[in-house]
Amino acid sequence: MIASMRMTYVALMRGINVGGKNKLPMATLAKLFADEKCANVATFIQSGNVIFDAPAKAAATVGARISRRIGRELGLEVPVVVRSAAELAAVPARNPFARADVDQMHIMFLADAPAAARARALDAARSPGDEFALVGRDVYLRLPNGVGRSKLTNAYFDKTLATVSTIRNWRTLLKLIELSTR
């Protein structure tokens, strides 16, 4: 039956195991996904990247379910954004900064596609020297001065676009694509 066919997805957590805060062991995180009927669960690096297989219907709600469980069981507020392996694999081809140094490139994943009026409210001059491009539910970032110095933060995009975001560097994105298209 096609409706129950499993596909591969990547769940991207925000704000765990950063600077010694919001500690969440990857084994615990993997178990949460397995408990939610996800299969072939694997984690990648400590910042909260989970590759898993699930039917599309289950994958559509697993991020919210995992976020609630982390809050309830571990006392942490952790947003979770989910992308299919196919969505992730399409990200590099849409990169408007493809010629940029890979060390300057980051991708921000949004939980929801923003309303057009909210997207128009983004300020291209907010962080001089930095560039961004909103493409659907992804924000491509070229940050020549580094992510730590940029004013193009999760908080800024979350507030302006009325959604939740999480960011990954380009090398992590490429590895997640490799792992999720196995």
Model confidence pLDDT, tens digit, residues 142-154: 999 999 999 999 9
Sign of the CA dihedral 141, 136, 159, 68?
A: negative
Same fold, 2-87 and 91-180: yes
Estimate to the nearest angstrom the gap between the alpha carbon of 16 and the chain centroid.
12
What is the number of residues in the chain? 182
54 in Cβ contact with 9 (< 8 Å): yes
**Residue ranges of the domains in the chain?**
2-87, 91-180
Q: Which of these, 106, 111, 103, lies nearest to 12 by C-alpha position?
A: 111
108 in Cβ contact with 158 (< 8 Å): no
pTM for the structure as a whole? 0.93
Q: How many CA atoms lie within 13 A of 142 on its CB side?
A: 14
140 in Cβ contact with 122 (< 8 Å): no
Judged by average pLDDT, the poorest of 12-16, 21-25, 46-50 is 21-25
pLDDT, tens only, 28-55: 999 999 999 999 999 999 888 999 999 9
Residue type, 168: R
pLDDT attached to residue 18: 64
Q: What is the DSSP letter of 113?
A: P
The class level of CATH for 2-87 reads: alpha beta
Angle at 4 between CA 3 and CA 10, to 5 degrees: 105
Q: Which CATH architecture has domain 91-180?
A: 2-Layer Sandwich (3.30)
